[in-house]
């Protein structure tokens, strides 16, 4: 079994590094025919419009759709999640092509611009039950999308509460004598639907490899991890044998 990482743009190197830490050598995918050599695929974060243009240029969409349809495990992180969604809103005018397959509507830049990027502790009971470790996961949201609607076969693995001002502005509410109210909106940020996994945040930018390990289990690789580890080069092997603290990001 082998795992591919779509390497057109975005954080593909970081995904490859996370896989290496689990003893798995991922394969960079840039051409449709390379997909024939992998049994699972990660679509990284980055910029979904740019990634879609590059995928179109390399005529990758038909092969990516076939990959999803044949039931092979695919994990989309952030821009990759947008790629996998059946429907995206908040796209640039003219929209963009999607691979689809995940019965979800995503909002492309739900949390705002780069400046509104943030980190938060997400509650991840399913992940913790499968992989052990803390019941929370440090979610890095970078111009992140959110899932607004999910179909009946979609399992929600994490959600996030956003506080929203109901009053249009403090001044207008003060003038009208209304109390300013704050409402809570829950959005979905991690899902699984059969062979498909989607996360709105970037696990590959943290040292916590539990989502990668979870995905490898989906890909049926869990049992192979030690053998892949032994087939790796010396320096990679040293890296994958080093336990890392799971609560610290790689980049500080
Ligand atoms: N919202 C971005 C997009 O549309 C994705 C951001 C990310 O992958 N960090 O492409």
Which tens digit of pLDDT belongs to each residue from 79-138? 999 999 999 998 776 678 999 999 999 999 999 888 889 999 999 999 999 999 999 999
For residue 48, the ligand 1 atom closest to its alpha carbon is 10
Look at residue 30 and tell me if it is in a domain. Answer: yes
Look at residue 61 and tell me if it is in a domain. Answer: yes
Q: Ligand 1 pocket, 140 CB below 6 A?
A: no
**Residue 202 known to be catalytic:** yes
Catalytic residue among 14, 15, 78, 212: 78
What is the whole-number distance in angstroms between the Cα of residue 79 and the centre of ligand 1?
A: 4
**Total domains, the chain:** 1
- Over residues 9-68, the pLDDT tens digits come to 999 999 999 999 999 999 999 999 999 999 999 999 999 999 999 999 999 999 999 999
Q: Rounded to an integer, what distance in angstroms lies between the CA atom of residue 6 and that of residue 2? A: 13
Look at residue 52 and tell me if it is in a domain. Answer: yes
Look at residue 170 and tell me if it is in a domain. Answer: no
CATH number at residue 71: 3.40.50.880
Q: Ligand 1 pocket, 48 CB below 6 A?
A: yes
Look at residue 245 and tell me if it is in a domain. Answer: no
Q: Ligand 1 pocket, 145 CB below 6 A?
A: yes
By residue range, what is the domain housing residue 203?
3-161+187-239
Look at residue 179 and tell me if it is in a domain. Answer: no
Q: Ligand 1 pocket, 198 CB below 6 A?
A: no
Query: Model pTM?
Result: 0.84
Look at residue 173 and tell me if it is in a domain. Answer: no
84 or 226: which leads in pLDDT = 84
Look at residue 178 and tell me if it is in a domain. Answer: no
């Amino acid at each position: 079994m082998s795992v591919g990482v779509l390497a057109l743009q975005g954080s593909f190197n970081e995904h490859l590094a996370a896989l290496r830490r689990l003893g798995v050598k991922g394969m960079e995918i840039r051409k449709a025919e390379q997909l024939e050599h992998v049994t699972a695929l990660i679509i990284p974060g980055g910029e979904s419009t740019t990634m879609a243009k590059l995928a179109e240029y390399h005529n990758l969409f038909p092969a990516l759709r076939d990959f999803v349809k044949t039931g092979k495990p695919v994990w989309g992180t952030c821009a990759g999640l947008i790629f996998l969604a059946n429907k995206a809103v908040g796209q640039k005018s003219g929209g963009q092509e999607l691979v689809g397959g995940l019965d979800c509507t995503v909002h492309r830049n739900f949390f705002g611009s780069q400046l509104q990027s943030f980190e938060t502790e997400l509650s991840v009971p399913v992940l913790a039950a499968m992989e052990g470790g803390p019941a929370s996961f440090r979610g890095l949201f970078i111009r992140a999308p959110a899932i607004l609607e999910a179909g009946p076969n979609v399992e929600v693995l994490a959600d996030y509460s956003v506080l929203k001002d109901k009053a249009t502005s403090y001044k207008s509410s003060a003038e009208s004598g209304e109390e300013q109210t704050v409402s809570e909106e829950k959005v979905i940020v991690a899902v699984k639907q059969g062979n498909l996994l989607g996360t709105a945040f970037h696990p590959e930018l943290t040292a916590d490899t539990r989502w990668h390990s979870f995905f490898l289990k989906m890909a049926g690789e869990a049992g192979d991890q030690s053998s892949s580890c032994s087939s790796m080069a010396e320096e990679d092997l040293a890296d994958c044998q080093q336990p890392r603290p799971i609560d610290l990001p790689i980049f500080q």
